[in-house]
Amino acid sequence: MQTRKGQEIEDESMQIIESEIGSHTFNEMEWPIVRRIIHSTADFDFARENKLLFHKDAISNGINALKNGCSIVTDVNGVIGLMNKQNPKDFGNNLICNISDPSLMESAKKAGKTRAQMSMRVAEKEIDGGVVVVGNAPTALLEVMEMVREGLVKPALVVGIPVGFVSAVESKDELSKTDIPFITNIGRKGGSPCASAIINALYKLLRQGIN
């Protein structure tokens, strides 16, 4: 919960975003998510050059999965750190990030994979029917798509918005061409603040009774 002053500042920020962005092509469910990312990053590119892309079932699937207590699997702890913790508490969503598991390093070496890839592999049970949130590691996003192709998992939603120079653009482009319900963006930009903002926005839509 915010203080009155905190809410006033947020409301003013949203008004500034609305006035500066002007017209846009996002629908009434997509725009609150895009706006939340802009609010978190002060970067209007997410509505322009680095535009957000939405699978047609992404928002409804994500909201319903969260409402039904699905797990949220992330690539890094930074994503969890920026989320409003009251939301998963209220809806019974387990927050899972295995990247710091000491056993991952050895298993990743043996498999010839990154720790981020292995962190997704060991979360197979939670990914199936869950919400996957990748803000930093393109290899984690690529691994989830491979797991889907292998028939191991069927996530309700994949938020794939990794930041970076190696495989970030390519992984998001690949995700945007799949049948997996996704929220992603074009280009190199992304990161934990964007990924957590998307989840926070989905929870807000859920609390408003939108699905």
CA–CA distance, 169 with 179 (Å, rounded to integer): 18
Contacts of 100 (CB under 8 A, 6+ apart): 77
Helix (H), strand (E), coil (C) string for 44-83: HHHHCCCCEEECCCHHHHHHHHHHCCCCEEECCHHHHHCC
CA dihedral 28, 33, 37, 38 (to 10 degrees): 10
Q: Is 39 a catalytic residue?
A: yes
The residue assigned the tokens 């979360």 is: 123
Please identify which of the residues 36, 39, 115, 121 carries the catalytic annotation: 39
The catalytic residue positions are 39
